[in-house]
Amino acid sequence: MSITLYVPCDSSAVSVGADRVVNAIAQEAEKRGVEIKIVRNGSRGMYWLEPMVEVVTEKGRIAYGAVNASDVSSLFDADFLNGGSHALSLGLTEEIPYFKKQQRLTFARVGITDPVSLEDYIAHDGYRGLKNALEISQADIVKHVSDSGLRGRGGAAFPTGIKWNTVLNTQADQKYIICNADEGDSGTFSDRMIMECDPFVLIEGMTIAGLAVSATQGYIYLRIEYPHAFEILNTAIANAYAAGYLGDDVQGSGRAFHLEVRQGAGAYVCGEETSLMESLEGKRGLVRFKPPLPAISGLFGKPTVVNNVISLASVPIILDKGGDFYRDFGMGRSRGTLPLQLAGNLKHPGLVELAFGVTLRELLYDFGGGSATGKPIRAVQVGGPLGAYLPESQFDTPLDYEAFAALWAVVGHGGIVAFDDTVDMAEMAKYSMEFCAEESCGKCTPCRIGATRGYEVMTEIVNKRDLDKNIPLLRSLCDTMLNSSLCALGGMTPYPVLSALNHFPEDFGVNVEHNAA
Amino acid sequence: MNKIMSLNKEKDYGTPASDSTEMVNLEIDGFKVTVPAGTSVMRAAATIGIDIPKLCATDSVEPFGSCRLCVVQIEGGRGLPASCTTPVFEGMKAITQNPKLAEVRRGVMELYISDHPLDCLTCSANGDCELQDMAGAVGLREVRYHPIETHLDAKKDTSNPYFSFDPSKCIVCSRCVRACEEVQGTFALTIDGRGFDSKVSAGQNESFMESECVSCGACVQACPTATLMETSVIENGLPEHAIITTCAYCGVGCSFRAEMKGEQVIRMVPNKDGKANHGHSCVKGRFAFGYATHKDRITQPMIRASIEDAWKEVSWEEAIAYAASEMKRIQDKYGKDSVGGITSSRCTNEEVYIMQKLIRAGFGNNNVDTCARVCHSPTGYGLKQTFGESSGTQDFDSVMKADVILIIGANPTDGHPVFGSQMKKRLRQGAKLIVVDPREIDIVKMPHVEASYHLKLRPSTNVALVNALAHVIVNENLVDEEFVNARCDVASFNKWLTFIADERHSPEATESITGVPAAEMRAAARLYATAENGAIYYGLGVTEHSQGSTAVITIANLAMATGNLGRDGVGVNPLRGQNNVQGSCDMGSFPHEFPGYRHVSDVATLSMFENAWQTNLSNEPGLRIPNMFDAALDKSFMGLYCEGEDIAQSDPDIKHVHAALHKMECVIVQDIFLNETAKFAHVFLPGASFLEKDGTFTNAERRISPVRKVMRPLAGYADWEITQMLSNALGYQMNYTHPSEIMDEIARLTPTFNGVSYDKIDQLGSIQWPCYDEESEGTPIMHTEEFMRDNGKGLFMLTEFVATQERVNGKFPLILTTGRILSQYNVGAQTRRTENNAWHTEDRLEIHSHDAEDRGIKDGDWVGIKSRAGETVLHALVTDRVQPGVVYTTFHFPESGANVITTDNSDWATNCPEYKVTAVQVAKVSQTSEWQAGYLAFSDNQLDLLAQASNV
């Protein structure tokens, strides 16, 4: 009887040698005359352990990591195919504390299944949400989503149910579901993981959304830097069509839902929903003003649901287990779970799905294991390049949209990037302005000219020139950008800049007393 | 009478008006205001005089929300929304000014100025710059930045002769880009790059001239700074006063503000309140006015005994006396009917009116004709017969309600560009398009516009094609029976039904005639017939045929059968070539009709005019233009008074015309240039351009618009005064002191003009006739209740297709058809004397690559074009726009000799020449034709004789 092994096909695992490990195992097995079967699963999200090889045993899946191709021979020698002990032994995967302590709802199958195997997906509770959705009214689908308390996981945290309800109630001959998969925030990868590791959950979520609001066409707007996701999504979509989960007659319901992946052209701003739609329409990725809301006049002027990957991928479990089930996780107005992405200077970077309420400190130390360099963590940027920097004094803040807002910070897409005490926060502020200048679409003046001027002013500040004039000028510029930018790119660039200045004035050559916010 | 205005800028409401009928009440800065739903906060504020600072918003284009100067606070709302993109809602309370808003606006303005040259005092937009105005409005006092990256060194593009593009002054508001898209519909401009590197780019980083820019001026109009600026303003400074007048080019009749410095026109700016153009323009009207002060203008009257003689400059008195004595001499010698006159669609209504009055009352015959003879006379005939009035049925704005637009033999984006832009706007909104044209005109496929069907018929087969469309409609039960029964002459319909239902008119039967696949004809017919609103636009491609009048009638039949008449969005719309084709026809310039299309033999009309004019009038129709030429060769027509028309270039079979002119003993030409006809003249009376006189033009939608004197006539007199002097010298007294008195007389004697007066035109801006009484404000859409025929019913007429005599054969295997181009106008007398030559310097022969290959012709080769009438030589332009077997050229240059080859075939009803169909052979040659060489020698000699004039 052959032994089954799992080696992730996730691009992070591949980037550190997963494919080489697979080849090495296959060759070694052949050499030794052992019959094995290697399944390319998704990653479990413990990236410091990748490539992680799992062996199926009677006790369960036993993990080894991080495995190098050069380790393979010794693994065979240690009889790893029967769970034998080795320096790289991690024990039962599910018992690894980093994994075990998580509350995986959206990521329930990630790392467990073969991403493009529909049988595997169904065997692991897949398409149960769709089955339920096909049996209830559109209003009831939307009600489940509303009841779940799900808010937009892309960063804006707008209640998903309200958005769907608006599209449902807007009459039109054509409606669309758009999945915003232009995941561009620095230090984030949860969307990519879903798409590479469990694409069917996204397909199912979008199908349910389509049924809920009478949209017959969905588009996944995928950033071009995700070529693996592109391939895997397309394979999964083809499999879903073949099995009648997509098409003119979804599961014999007589209702249509079509799905297509479109690749972006490499602009960060196309992650902003209105410029995303411009780009999908084949135009320059220029931000549109609102109103009209996309829910009323979106893609090609038709009512459109634009949701992030994680929002849509959370829908199947909500429809499977009910809105109440999901809502029972979390705190305050932040319900359910959030897939947090630990990155930057951390010992244990990876994906951690937890209910809202966990503190930054728990994430950084209990999960992240502190800094990789061993130095104290000085600052954390939460929510991508437009998120605020939080100092150590704020590490006990619970992950909660409102708690973060109270600190003039954002949870955003759940990206957490840690910096140790060697970081120069003025350089980071300068970088934020540079990022904005680089990525600005150029439509609105505060962002188009302001970011470039901001970079120039920050260059002066970093060089400690005319601080008495340049610091107030920087604050004034941030005020202009914050209050008058057309979208969040220009409007939120002041978050990292001002939080750096306010929490770390010494890096700007300003003493604390004179740094009136 | 002239409405001189100081140069106050036109009010800009920031965003376009909403056409909603639902009203919304709100408060802005504590003031109550009620506006239509969908109005922006910015516009609502502007209506009560609160001008919120703005830069990227202007009311000619949709809001964009990029400059962020117009931010406001809405009670209960979050943040500072842009007022241009925020629609009003019931009960809204908006604040437009407070310290927070002031701070944000100053912050934004400071950013703008950090990337803008500080050369206001020497800038061409000084005093006319919105950036400057807004910097003042927001109270910017300091720029704290020390910018490193700027656009101050960006290079200026001066490739366009009329305006320059200076990107160092650009604020990237995208107004130019949006105007090019939304107003003009050319999509020549874009923003290239992103972020700080964003810049306006013509085409793909080309110069304006190399790009697809059509120089309509919409971008210049939209630009808030000196970035896009008229060359004339850069050279002369800003104008100081403005006078509203009407363009003298095509039949769209755009309203313009002539912006003046003393008597010098600095620029022509399209009038936002102009009802035909709504603030838009084209390269001709906007920029090509320099001909009015061109050195070729003749400003002194001249006479000579023979065309072999040198011209002699004389006083007005002498010229008029000589002209009158010659006309009298000829009438004494050859009879009363041996003289006549030709007037022009370029003249004002008042000029045409007194011209025909002079001929009927002064010459005592009806030998008056107009250039509409050679363009839209079949329209006059066909629509009069079927609908009862010789005019288009709609206003231009009607196109915005059309769902299917059927264009037959018209090229609106070249010939009627401003209306073409409006049509494209409607097509971009989703209306469907059918084009019937032998050639692939631009509108068949343009950015964001594509015809559903292009029926690429063979020239001369319009009647067969439209009959086939009607056949489908009848046989597939697509007739609007309710309309036909209620509004049309049912007996005529039934007769027509039997006629058209016959198999010989089916698409399948006529496919071999038209060359259009039957299935396409069927599909197009269904599309038009099933449209909620189907509108037909046609042009000279319909009229200038031996069956021109029949073709007009087929169109009228089609519209009646489908009920596409009498309301907004439908209709039959002739696109008139020149500015005043409609008006000159209205004014009684045809030999058989008094003003208002009343026959000269109609006893009541005749006696009314005899009473009014205090003289006996002839009840016999006079000579049409071609008859005049024939009569001249018979020595029975020997004296001609020709005003504003260049028959020696524009009429068909030009050798015949030249021979006739040679025979005449006195040719009086009244024009602003020594045109081709004047080279055959004995008296030259220097006329005035449209900038030098008062009057009115009537455009293709029957809109009577004011023409206003903005400078004194270079030669001393307005044209109506010259005609009046001639009349008085002939012994028929006219004593008008102003053209308004002429219009009063027209109104008094013409029922459809009864309610028209200069006062009312000034008050309303323009009036669409019919305007029956003082209360009436005119009639945008005709035949809404009943047709204007005596019994009120639309008349169906039978329209058998009869092939033209002009047939291709082995000797003349190709069909030549003619058309026009955007940058040149008609015979080119005006536009050739402007910088418009930069776009089109010669007429070329378009030939299909197959036909070119067969003849060994390459692009740019000299090719001889030979017809039964003559031969000329042009450069070849090898293109698949034309179909195999068809060649095409324009006729804007006299030396092209396009009319050397056109024949004397003409419309059976009106003698409109068959310009559109000439059988020719084309061959590669090495030099110009014999005719061209002869013409050149003749023309050079005449110019020498002119040069001698001032030396005499």
DSSP strand pairing (B93-95 vs B73-74): antiparallel
Q: Lowest mean pLDDT: which of A47-61, A405-419, B717-731, B937-951?
A: B937-951
**Phi/psi of residue A497, nearest 5 degrees:** -65, -50
Q: Return d(Cα B116, Cα B131) in angstroms, integer.
A: 10
Q: Which of A289, A438, A453 sits opposite B85 (nearest CB)?
A: A289
Residues of A within 8 A of B146 (CB-CB) are 456, 460
pLDDT (0 to 100) of residue A512: 62
CB atoms within 10 A of CB B936: 13
Q: Do A448 and B104 touch (CB under 8 A)?
A: no
Q: Return d(Cα A296, Cα A488) in angstroms, integer.
A: 21
Here the tokens at position A197 are: 């590791």
Residues of A within 8 A of B193 (CB-CB) are 442
Q: Are B576 and B251 in contact (CB under 8 A)?
A: yes
pLDDT (0 to 100) of residue B892: 87
First to last CA, chain A: 69
First to last CA, chain B: 40
**At a CB cut-off of 8 Å and minimum separation 6, what does B939 contact?**
B676, B679, B894, B895
**Phi/psi of residue A216, nearest 5 degrees:** -105, -5
Here the tokens at position B883 are: 């179909």
Report yes or no: A463 at the B interface, CB cutoff 8 Å.
no
Q: Which of A441, A449, A479 sits opposite B111 (nearest CB)?
A: A449
pTM reported for the whole predicted model: 0.93
Residues composing chain B: 952
Alpha helix segments (H runs only) across B781-889: 849-854
Least Cα separation, residue B534 to chain A (angstroms)? 24
Residues of A within 8 A of B167 (CB-CB) are none
pLDDT (0 to 100) of residue B557: 97
Strands (E), B223-291: 228-230, 241-246, 255-261, 264-270
Alpha helix segments (H runs only) across A330-466: 360-361, 401-406, 425-439, 445-448, 450-462
pLDDT digits (tens, 9 = 90+) for A432-482: 999 999 999 999 999 999 999 999 999 999 999 999 999 999 999 999 999
Q: Return d(Cα B735, Cα B416) in angstroms, integer.
A: 37
Among B56, B141, B194, the residue to mutate for chain A (most A Cβ within 10 A)? B194
- Read off the pLDDT band of A517 (50, 70, 90): very low
- Whole-angstrom CA distances from B265 to B162, B268, B712, B916 are 14, 7, 12, 38
pLDDT (0 to 100) of residue A484: 95
Report yes or no: A263 at the B interface, CB cutoff 8 Å.
no
Strands (E), A292-365: 304-308, 330-331, 334-335, 337-344, 350-355
pLDDT (0 to 100) of residue B902: 87
Q: Which segments of chain B have a pLDDT < 50?
A: 1, 952
3-class SS of residue B763: helix
Q: Do A291 and B85 touch (CB under 8 A)?
A: yes
3-class SS of residue B191: strand
CB atoms within 10 A of CB B154: 15
pLDDT (0 to 100) of residue A515: 55
Question: Which residue of chain B has the CA closest to A442?
Answer: B195
If contacts are CB pairs under 8 Å, which of residues 394-433 in chain A contact chain B?
none
Residues of B within 8 A of A440 (CB-CB) are 194-196
Q: Are B290 and B832 in contact (CB under 8 A)?
A: no
DSSP conformation class of B334: H
Q: Return d(Cα B486, Cα B468) in angstroms, integer.
A: 25
pLDDT (0 to 100) of residue B2: 55
- Read off the pLDDT band of A1 (50, 70, 90): low
Helices (H) and strands (E) in chain A, counts: 23, 16
Q: Which of A290, A445, A451 sits opposite B66 (nearest CB)?
A: A445
Q: Return d(Cα B345, Cα B248) in angstroms, integer.
A: 10
Least Cα separation, residue B145 to chain A (angstroms)? 7
- Whole-angstrom CA distances from A230 to A41, A142, A181, B226, B441 are 16, 29, 10, 48, 43
Here the tokens at position B915 are: 């310009």
pLDDT digits (tens, 9 = 90+) for A308-363: 999 999 999 999 999 999 999 999 999 999 999 999 999 999 999 999 999 999 99
Which chain B residues have any C-beta within 8 angstroms of a chain A C-beta? 63-68, 71, 79-80, 82, 85-87, 100, 103-104, 107-108, 110-112, 114-115, 144-149, 171-172, 174, 190-191, 193-198
Q: Do A442 and B71 touch (CB under 8 A)?
A: no
| Residue pointed to by tokens 């909620």 | B532
**At a CB cut-off of 8 Å and minimum separation 6, what does B270 contact?**
B217, B221, B254, B255, B256, B257, B277, B279, B280, B281, B285, B286
Give percent of chain A above pLDDT 70.
Answer: 99
Q: Do A439 and B63 touch (CB under 8 A)?
A: no
The per-residue b/e assignment along B732-759, b for 16 or more CB within 10 angstroms, e otherwise, is: bebebeebbebbbbbbebbebbbbbbbe
Least Cα separation, residue A476 to chain B (angstroms)? 7
Amino acid identity, position B313 = E
**At a CB cut-off of 8 Å and minimum separation 6, what does B888 contact?**
B439, B816, B817, B818, B819, B845, B846, B881, B882
Torsion, Cα B492 B498 B499 B502, to 10 degrees, reads: 160
- CA B516 to mean position of chain CA atoms: 30
The per-residue pLDDT of chain A, averaged, comes to 96
Q: Return d(Cα A349, Cα A367) in angstroms, integer.
A: 8
Here the tokens at position B381 are: 């005939």
| Residue pointed to by tokens 């609908």 | B387
Residues of B within 8 A of A453 (CB-CB) are 111, 114, 145, 147
